Amino acid sequence: MLDFVIDSLARCRTANDARRVQVTLANELAPAEVAMLAKALRERYAGTYASTVHWLGGLESLIGLSAAPPQPFERSVLAPGVFRYAAPAGRSELGRRTLIVAFTGAAFRLMLPIACVLQNLDASRHDLVLLFDRARTQFLKGVPGIASDLPALLRRLDELAAFGLYRRVVFVGTSAGGLPAMRAAIEIAAERGIGIAASVPADLPSRVQTHDVDPAPHVEAFARYDRGATRLACVCASGHARDRANARWYEAHAGATVVEVPGIDGHNVLQQVFEAGGLAPFLAELVDGDGRIAVPPGVAVGRAGRGGV
């Protein structure tokens, strides 16, 4: 990985080029990779790539690697646009884990660098498959290169990630990834589907990349699914009117539980919960909670949020 990063940085001609490399690293690196890369660059390339060395140090600090060792997730590429993060395990151990299938938003992240999310999960209990839709069609046209629509994507993911090996499968999506994550959960009768600041089917015609996607089948899918088989939850900021209205749409049309995070009014819910120090208990409740899917005690940001996904 170090050689690949150095080669990428060597080809940069402007600060914006370097920034694009940094954004890609933030969207893809596991916590241990951040620590390894930061150490290697400090020791060998501090004078050559000073801005990236500084940026990586900030990412280490953001993740909290000075206070705790990195969660031992190892990254592997299952297919173009499909990454798996998992600690080494045998078949029997996988049978005790939860697989989180995560649909990124339009900025190809879960509202945070992926290492921040992974560091707030227990690697002995969770694996995570991260999906990128580079065409920005909200995964409704699949993932370029491996599937052309959502049902085909789910079949391919089952082949790649072996859903049946896990104790539970939970689908999570942020912003533009929220709708396909919840739709995917009901299509395979997963235990849980979670949309965070999720868009709704009515948004599809207004987006350039999805203007030709008919929203009716998605509306019908939510209306007909077996509500006893899959629990849906929609997370939103208590003060964000559009996201709150979208969450209420899922409540009305699919029986979803609405989880309003108090004290914030921004779209980027996970970032604000993270900045308030509450991401680990928040994710634990959403993914592993007892079914109430409520905001755990003490998770309240108490200030206006910022945009961006």
Sign of CA pseudo-dihedral 100, 104, 105, 111? positive
Residue 86 neighbours by CB distance under 10 Å:
20
Query: Average pLDDT of 22-43?
Result: 96
- Rounded Cα distance, 21 and 261, in Å: 33
CA distances from 222 to 129, 154, 180 (A): 23, 17, 11
What is the structure's pLDDT at 149?
Answer: 92
Sign of CA pseudo-dihedral 44, 49, 52, 54? positive
- Rounded Cα distance, 38 and 46, in Å: 10
* pLDDT score of 309 more than 50: no
76-87 pLDDT tens trace:
999 999 999 999
Kindly tell me the burial class for residue 50, based on how many C-beta atoms sit within 10 Å of its own C-beta (0-12, 13-18, 19 or more).
exposed
Sorting pLDDT into bands at 50, 70 and 90, what band is 132?
very high
* pLDDT score of 34 more than 80: yes
More confidently predicted of 211 and 299: 211
Least confident of 98-107, 129-138, 151-160, 284-293: 284-293
Average pLDDT, the chain: 91
Q: Which residue has the tokens 């997370």?
A: 235
Q: Which residue has the tokens 């929220």?
A: 178
- Rounded Cα distance, 299 and 277, in Å: 8
What is the structure's pLDDT at 308?
Answer: 36
* pLDDT score of 305 more than 80: no
Q: Which residue has the tokens 């009716």?
A: 216
What is the structure's pLDDT at 302?
Answer: 43
Query: Average pLDDT of 149-157?
Result: 95
Sorting pLDDT into bands at 50, 70 and 90, what band is 303?
very low
In this structure, the dihedral spanned by the alpha carbons of residues 27, 58, 236 and 201, taken in order and rounded to 10 degrees, is -20
Side chain identity, residue 201:
P
- Rounded Cα distance, 9 and 15, in Å: 10
What is the structure's pLDDT at 295?
Answer: 72
Angle subtended by helix axes 241-254 and 178-187, to nearest 10? 10
* pLDDT score of 71 more than 90: yes
What is the structure's pLDDT at 129?
Answer: 98
Query: Average pLDDT of 6-17?
Result: 94
More confidently predicted of 135 and 227: 135
Sorting pLDDT into bands at 50, 70 and 90, what band is 298?
low
The CATH architecture assigned to 74-288 reads: 3-Layer(aba) Sandwich (3.40)
Closest CA to 29 of 64, 59, 68: 59
* pLDDT score of 200 more than 90: yes
Whether pTM > 0.85 for this model: the answer is yes
**Where do the structural domains in the chain lie, given as residue ranges?**
2-63, 74-288
156-188 pLDDT tens trace:
999 999 999 999 999 999 999 999 999 999 999
Sorting pLDDT into bands at 50, 70 and 90, what band is 2?
confident
What is the structure's pLDDT at 224?
Answer: 83
Question: Could you give phi then psi for residue 171, rounded to 5 degrees?
Answer: -105, 135
Within 8 A by CB and 6+ apart from 235, the residues are: 194, 195, 196, 197, 247, 259, 260, 261, 269, 286
* pLDDT score of 249 more than 60: yes
- What percent of the chain has a predicted confidence (pLDDT) above 90? 80
* pLDDT score of 33 more than 90: yes
